[in-house]
Amino acid sequence: MVKGLAIIKSKDVIHRDLKLPNVLITFKNLPVDYHRIKAQGGKSDFSIKDYIKNLSTADLIGPSEKECPIIVKIADLGFARKLDENSMTASHCGTPLLMSPQILLGEFYNHKADVWSLGCCFYELLTGFTPFTGTNKANLAQNIKNGDYSIPKTIKLSLEAIEFLNKCLQFDADKRMSFD
């Protein structure tokens, strides 16, 4: 996802609606009959959960990108727009629970809004829910301003993963990580 957003940014485009339903994943090495069996409502001895669990870091990084068994693509560029490196926009669009605070508050924003959404996606992948919630947009904005999100104690993360999330989910866009 990071590489995909970096490529989008290199084209001077901002996505503005990055969320898990807009991320497409393909597993290259599934058994040939897996999709046919599933489409017919049948059972297969193959388990995607076990397949992913058994992948090693070497499998994912591999000698070349072409050999990686998982392909990730960012889809739905319906809200995307061209945005120069030094430009900003103020259009209000996207999914509120994953919108950067600047979009939610009607302020000007740039490519770092996608970094916020990336952090929300990673948090959701790890925990199963979004880092910030609210009863309405104003309450959601206040919760984001407070910056209070926590990772459940049952989830063990490396210091690098925690630092990555914290850099993505900075309320202050100037401190937020960028793709540069």
Q: What burial letters (b/e) apply to 6-21, b meaning 16+ CB within 10 Å?
A: eebbeeebbbbbbbee
Q: Residue 105's CB: how many other CB atoms inside 10 A?
A: 15
Which is it for the CA torsion 174, 175, 176, 177, positive or negative? positive
Angle 155-49-77 from CA coordinates, rounded to 5°: 85
Continuous segment of H or E residues that includes residue 62:
none
Q: Which of 17, 50, 76, 148 is catalytic?
A: 17
Catalytic residue flag (residue 17): yes
Residues serving a catalytic function are 17
